[in-house]
Amino acid sequence: MAPLSTPLTKLLGIQHPVVLAGMARVSGGSLAAAVSNAGGLGVVGGFRLTPQQLRDVVAELKAELARPDLPFGIDLALPQVGNGARATNYDYTDGKLDELIDIVIHEGAKLFVSAVGVPPAYVIDRLHRHGILVMNMVGHPKHAAKALARGVDMVCAQGTEGGGHTGPVAGTVLIPAVVDVAQLVAEERRRATGQTNFLLAEPLVVAAGGIADGRGLAAALMQGAAGVWVGTRFVACQEANCSEAHKQAVVTCDTDDTDITLVLTGRPLRTKLNPYIRKWHEQPQKIRDLCSQGIIPFEHDLESHGREGHVGDDVTFDSDEDEVEMPYLMGQVAGNIKKVQPAKEIVDEMVAGAVVALQRGQTYMGKLFVSDALSDASPPPSVSATVHVVSITIDMGLRIRTNTPDGMSVISYVLTTLESHSPAGSTPNRRPSFSRGDDASTARTSSGNGCSDLACDARAVSASWAASSSATVAQSTLWGPHWINARWSCSIALTAVVLSVPAGNCDVWRRVAVVLKTGARGLANESRGG
């Protein structure tokens, strides 16, 4: 089982809640394939690609996938043109949106991502009819509300820290705000009837901006996101389609070397500063005047000076290749990136770091906490032979030591207390039978009713019982991921794993909830009483 499982991983069929940002000229077929191969979701950057170029990039991706069934995504930029939109906006698809969407459908993308604007409703409907999920990039809560009202399945909230096109709101403010918007939309969708313009009753939020390691991933999950959209970290990646100079520009960037500019596209875009951008920023009124006329400052320079061969420092026009060396796009988090790595290494380190951060967070909880999450336990849609997991967490602080009888180990104390408080009536066949060990020994399950023995070390003990009379088996497991012997504190997760739940059998889940909550509260009362 993957160490992190979220609604996003389940929905997309991926191992890790890490999505490659569809960056122009960076997220090519090789990088997207490498991220999908690593257990994330690779997304191709389709900005300004012609239909044939997009086909070629997707063909490259598919040729490098470890398995042909691995999912991938395609990103296009679809700004609103006219009707009060920015004067500098124009159709980045050159009138070929329908043909590009045909390719998205024909190539079997799992996810379509729209940046800098909401896709037309007919595009969303077409994609949905072919089972393709739609995500929209947003930089403000109001943009999230608009996109979700249009029918997209998820939104990616990108904080102003992010590279490329971005908004004015910091991620720590934006992500929770967009999560709140998504929750309100979910409530409205549950109440609505006869709606057909969305695939998900509960839209998801993906976080972006300033995320380059496991700490950023963990923080995003705790803010309510179901996964992360990672760009700059993958620029400094061996498989990235950008130049080595771009990669080195990231790993040598300082935290204050980037800024947001209108110079390059007429839209707010974060890039690494160079003399050319700095010079333009000395003329803010000229930038505003040009943009208000629908003239992009960079293109203005190309028209005025580019054909003569030189636009400015670090920006040159190559008349042979008809290309301009653009300033390097990257987010503020570039200041934290120190080396170029393979995509798999980046994904693995990010996930491992997130697990460590989330486990560390458990140790910050108060002396005693018993979750009420299972008070109204109800099963998800299930069929026979499907495994489902519900859990309840108890966090014990220093008091557990003072409440432990002399000569009894902490583990034995916990088990004895749980056993004494488990309601016999909740298990038709027998009360839970708990094995006992000490802090330095191995404990084994007292097995029965189809549960196999589970060997575990001093940090893990388990028990089993029959949860119902219909051959459904529940197994509870206790483990303390962080035993700090010097302080005798531990975090204990009590989990019920329910096997072969008959569809709609809520009674089984209620029984499991009763057993878990009664045992946990009994332990809580014992701890308070010492």
Mean pLDDT calculated for residue range 354-374: 65
Confidence (pLDDT) at 221: 95
Mean pLDDT calculated for residue range 126-153: 96
Confidence (pLDDT) at 225: 96
Task: Select, from the ranges 131-135, 314-318, 412-416, the one with the highest average predicted confidence (pLDDT).
Answer: 131-135
Superfamily per CATH, domain 7-245+334-361? Aldolase class I (3.20.20.70)
Q: What is the radius of gyration, based on Cα positions, of the chain?
A: 27
Confidence (pLDDT) at 302: 83
pLDDT over 80 at 271, yes or no: yes
Q: How far apart are CA 329 and CA 130, in angstroms?
A: 34
Question: How does DSSP assign 420-440, residue by residue?
Answer: HHS-GGGSSS---EE----TT
Question: Mean pLDDT over all residues of the chain?
Answer: 73
Q: How far apart are CA 25 and CA 49, in angstroms?
A: 10
Mean pLDDT calculated for residue range 139-146: 96
First to last CA, the chain: 39
- Amino acid symbol at 376: D
pLDDT in tens, 67-123: 999 999 999 999 888 777 788 877 888 899 999 999 999 999 999 999 999 999 999
pLDDT over 90 at 245, yes or no: yes
pLDDT over 50 at 373, yes or no: no
Confidence (pLDDT) at 453: 25
> What residues are paired with 466 via a beta bridge?
473
Which has more confidence, 157 or 412? 157
Q: Which DSSP helix (H) or strand (E) runs through 244?
A: helix 244-251
Domains in the chain: boundaries: 7-245+334-361, 256-333, 365-529
Q: Which DSSP helix (H) or strand (E) runs through 275?
A: helix 275-281
pLDDT over 70 at 434, yes or no: no
Q: How far apart are CA 454 and CA 432, in angstroms?
A: 15
Q: What is the pTM of this model?
A: 0.69
Mean pLDDT is lowest, of 338-347, 416-425, 434-443, 465-474, for 465-474
What's the fold here for domain 365-529? Alpha-D-Glucose-1,6-Bisphosphate; Chain A, domain 4 (3.30.530)
- In this structure, are residues 159 and 166 in contact, taking their beta carbons and an 8 Å threshold? yes
pLDDT in tens, 193-240: 555 455 677 899 999 999 999 999 999 999 999 999 999 999 999 999
Mean pLDDT is lowest, of 224-233, 501-510, 514-523, for 501-510
CA angle 23, 51, 296 (to 5 degrees): 55
CB neighbour burial string for 390-427, b if at least 16 within 10 angstroms, e if fewer: bebbbbbbebbeebbeeeebbbbbbbbbbbebbeeebb
pLDDT over 60 at 179, yes or no: yes
pLDDT in tens, 464-490: 222 222 222 222 333 233 222 222 233
pLDDT over 80 at 149, yes or no: yes
- In this structure, are residues 390 and 419 in contact, taking their beta carbons and an 8 Å threshold? no
Which has more confidence, 349 or 2? 349
Q: How far apart are CA 59 and CA 8, in angstroms?
A: 25
Mean pLDDT calculated for residue range 303-324: 51
Task: Select, from the ranges 250-254, 355-359, 360-364, 373-377, the one with the highest average predicted confidence (pLDDT).
Answer: 250-254
Percent of the chain with pLDDT over 70: 63
pLDDT over 60 at 36, yes or no: yes
